Amino acid sequence: NAGVTQTPKFQVLKTGQSMTLQCAQDMNHNSMYWYRQDPGMGLRLIYYSASEGTTDKGEVPNGYNVSRLNKREFSLRLESAAPSQTSVYFCASTGTGKGETQYFGPGTRLLVL
Amino acid sequence: GQQVMQIPQYQHVQEGEDFTTYCNSSTTLSNIQWYKQRPGGHPVFLIQLVKSGEVKKQKRLTFQFGEAKKNSSLHITATQTTDVGTYFCAGPVGTYKYIFGTGTRLKVLA
């Protein structure tokens, strides 16, 4: 099992460009999450999907959209990238999402110029 | 809104010294999880505490959940260079969401 995979690993964008971060899990988990990590600020929840077909906003959703494509895949889209979105993005999943262990992907390092 | 703070933010220790990080939530938590993130890596689950006053040990690591279920601590005895990284606590918010602490970055000097 690969666990949680993310693509790409690194990306450089110019302000105003768009891109989609991909995440997939092979653990048959119901709940999936997108976090961003900035220095000194820990992990902040952007969006989550409690189960296939549902998505909800987290703490910092502005500037992002998500799609739960199927049970395995949860993508994060930046429609018009801004320098403030320079960060490391982590995808995570849990079995039921109800207080369970989160399994994280390796992360995507994004630089917006 | 709910906040989870960790102190200290950074800690440098000599190899062999002990280390403790503290996690404080503004609200009661049903459980608390601890994660370790190596430099350049991703968070990896260490342990979950559920009961008030619970203490769990993993080799040199001791985890404690406060009586009021609003605070927790992680203590490492006799640190090693392999302990380097950032330690995060996390707690559930509502049914599906989690809130992470600000993290404590540990550096171990050989």
The helix or strand, by DSSP H or E, that contains position A68, with its residue range, turns out to be: strand A64-68
> Do A102 and B100 count as a contact with CB atoms less than 8 A apart?
no
> Do B88 and A48 count as a contact with CB atoms less than 8 A apart?
no
- Residue A96 pLDDT greater than 80, yes or no: no
Measured at the CA of B16, the angle between CA B14 and CA B18, to 5 degrees, comes to 85
Within 8 A of B90 by CB-CB distance, chain A residues are: 43, 102
The total number of residues shown for chain B amounts to: 110
Residue of chain A with shortest Cα separation from B96: A97
Among A90, A97, A101, beta carbon nearest to B42: A90
pLDDT at B32: 95
| Model confidence band, residue B3 (pLDDT cutoffs 50, 70, 90) | confident
pLDDT at A97: 62
pLDDT at A19: 97
Summarised one tens digit per residue, pLDDT across range B15-64 is 999 999 999 999 999 999 999 999 999 999 999 999 999 999 999 999 99
Which among A102, A87, A90, A92 is positioned nearest to A11, based on CA atoms? A87
- Residue B95 pLDDT greater than 90, yes or no: no
**Where are any strands of DSSP class E within B1-110?**
4-7, 10-14, 19-25, 32-37, 44-49, 55-58, 61-65, 71-76, 85-93, 97-100, 104-109
pLDDT at B2: 82
- Residue A3 pLDDT greater than 70, yes or no: yes
Percent over 70 (pLDDT), chain A = 98
- Residue A113 pLDDT greater than 90, yes or no: yes
pLDDT at A2: 82
Percent over 70 (pLDDT), chain B = 100
Q: Of A37-41, A91-95, B14-18, B68-72, give the lowest mean pLDDT range.
A: A37-41
Interface of A with B (CB under 8 A): 31, 33, 35, 40-45, 48, 50, 56, 58-59, 90, 97-99, 101-107
> Do A97 and B96 count as a contact with CB atoms less than 8 A apart?
yes
Question: B3, exposed or middle or buried, with CB in 10 Å at 0-12, 13-18, 19+?
Answer: exposed
Percent over 90 (pLDDT), chain B = 90
Residues 6+ apart with CB under 8 A from B88: A42, A43, B6, B34, B35, B36, B37, B43, B100, B101, B103
Section A70-82 average pLDDT: 97
- Residue A6 pLDDT greater than 90, yes or no: yes
Among A43, A98, A106, beta carbon nearest to B96: A98
> Do B102 and A40 count as a contact with CB atoms less than 8 A apart?
yes
